[in-house]
Structures are given as structure tokens and as C-alpha cells.
Amino acid sequence: MVVQERLTRTNTLAGYLDDFQLIGREKEKSDIAELIEEQASTQESQVIAVWGMGGLGKTTLIKDVYQRQGVSNTFGKHAFVTVLRPFKLEELLRSLVLQLVVREDALDFAGDTQKNIGLMGVADLIEVLGRRSEGKRCLIVLDDLSAMVEWDKISPSLHEIKNLVIVITTRREDIAKHCCQKPKCIRLAQRS
């Protein structure tokens, strides 16, 4: 009898915690999705930074938000890039070109141009990104920035892209603040 009651109480408590965690994460996701949409409505490019210790669920959270219908409808072009180590700007820009340009305008890129992307250097990749993103709202997620110098290299490369919202994730608060100057756009990921 006592055992049965304990089990029931444990189950109830576990159920309550599950619900609580689920609601907590949903709220966090919709807050970030709202912030992205809000930043997209401004004319200048905007940066949102989500930070928190390893394993908190930053990547999972942003991936989920990135795939939301509302977010993908807001942006004519979007890309999700994990920043790899050792950091290579050329590889990161190539991945952006493939996602933002080639995937969207595959027909235009049939033939020589598509083959050449593999051979393009940093300057050419920047030029293609700027030229091909004209007139479209872009969302770029840079997942797992681990050094300010990475941002210092990436950021000027994206200046030619207008109407851009960049979301970065990082473990470090100082990197979040380095990338993003607006306090409301710096978010500490919640423990899931």
C-alpha cells in the first residue's frame, strides 16, 4: 500500500517535471523564434547570440527554431552552418554559398558555375554571396563559435548580404557579447 502510494507520487512528480521542462523549452523556442522574426523586420543586418555551457541544448534549440514554418517563411534564403575546427573561412563561406545560393537557384547554377564553386577562393565566394542574395531576406545560423577571431573573420565577409539575420551559438558569454551589441539579442540558453 505504502509502496503503491510512493510509486504513484513519484510518477506524478516525474510527470509534472516532464511537463514543466517541455513547457520551459517551448517558451524558450518561441521567444527565440519571435526575436528572429522581429529582427528580420528591421532594415539593417542583425545578430542574435545564444550562449551557455556545453551540452545545454543550444544546437538542438536553434535547429528546432530554424526548422519552424514561420521562420522559414520569413526568409527567402537560409543556411545553418556548424563552425568547424580548425576554422577555415573559405570552407564556411563555401557551405554558405551552397546553402544560400546553389540550393535556391539550382537551375541558374547548372553547369560551369556550380563546378567552379569548389575552386573559388574567399574573395569570389564573398562576391557570389553578395550578388546572389540581393532582394531576399537571409537567415544564417553559425553554430558553435569558439573564438572571437572566428567572428572577426566571418563578419566582414557577410557585409555585402543585405537584410541579414545571423544567429550564433557559443559556449562563451564574452564571444556572445563580442558578436552582438544589443542586450535583448543576447540570450543565455536555459538548462533543459
Ligand X SMILES: Nc1ncnc2c1ncn2[C@@H]1O[C@H](COP(=O)(O)OP(=O)(O)OP(=O)(O)O)[C@@H](O)[C@H]1O
Euclidean distance between CA atoms 143 and 37, whole angstroms:
19
Interface pick for Mg ion out of 59, 99, 113, 146 (rule CB under 5 A): 59
Residues 111 to 170 in contact with ligand X, rule: CB under 6 A: 144
The interface region with ligand X, picked from 57-65, 71-79, 95-103, 179-187 by CB under 6 A, is 57-65
d(CA 135, CA 70): 19
The interface region with Mg ion, picked from 1-9, 44-52, 54-62, 183-191 by CB under 5 A, is: 54-62
Residue 89 to residues 21, 81, 92, 113, 185, Cα–Cα distance (Å): 37, 12, 5, 20, 25
- Determine the interface stretch with ligand X among 37-45, 54-62, 113-121, 124-132 (rule: CB under 6 A): 54-62
Q: Which is nearer to Mg ion, 63 or 136 (CB)?
A: 63
**132 contact, one of ligand X, Mg ion, none, CB 5-8 Å limit per kind:** none
Number of residues that bind ligand X (CB under 6 A): 11
Judged by DSSP in three states, 137 sits in: coil
Strands (E), the chain: 46-51, 77-82, 138-145, 164-170, 186-188
Task: Tell me the residue nearest to Mg ion as measured from the CB.
Answer: 59
- Tell me the C-alpha distance between 173 and 28, whole Å: 18
Select the residue interacting with ligand X from 15, 55, 70, 156 (CB under 6 A): 55
- Conformational region of residue 163, where left means phi above 0, alpha means psi within -120 to 50, and beta covers everything else: left
Site residues for ligand X, 4-33, by CB under 6 A, read: 25
C-alpha grid cell, residue 149: 577571431
Contact residues: Mg ion, CB under 5 A? 58-59, 144
Contact residues: ligand X, CB under 6 A? 25, 54-60, 144, 171, 192
